[in-house]
Amino acid sequence: ADLKAMIPDHHREFVQQLLADHAVPEIPEEEKMRELIGFGTAIAGPQAEIALSHEKVALLANALGTPPPDVIEDVHAKGKLIAA
């Protein structure tokens, strides 16, 4: 699913007004993220690998929806729990 399309216009307007009210400057174009992170394997996979490289990690939680199936399999293969 396209996460950007799921964000209601009134929420976008609220955020823009909030930023303007508090004089938060625009992010320079070269620093803006081109896409949202966390959903695709290209981003979620390496992030999960880094988290799983830490011995004490027992649970990975993905706050941006269900992790990709291959990431879920990798986490389970390492004997860890995963949540969304």
Its pTM stands at 0.52
Top-confidence residue, 80 or 42: 80
Q: What is the pLDDT of residues 1-14, one digit of tens each?
A: 577 788 899 999 99
Dump the DSSP string for 14-57: HHHHHHHHTTPPPPPGGGS-SS--SSSHHHHHHHHHHHHTSTT-
Euclidean distance between CA atoms 28 and 52, whole angstroms: 33
- The overall average pLDDT reported for the chain is 85
Helix (H, G, I), strand (E, B) or coil at 13: helix
Q: What is the pLDDT of residues 14-48, one digit of tens each?
A: 999 999 999 999 988 887 766 555 556 777 788 88
Domain ranges of the chain: 3-83
Euclidean distance between CA atoms 62 and 44, whole angstroms: 9
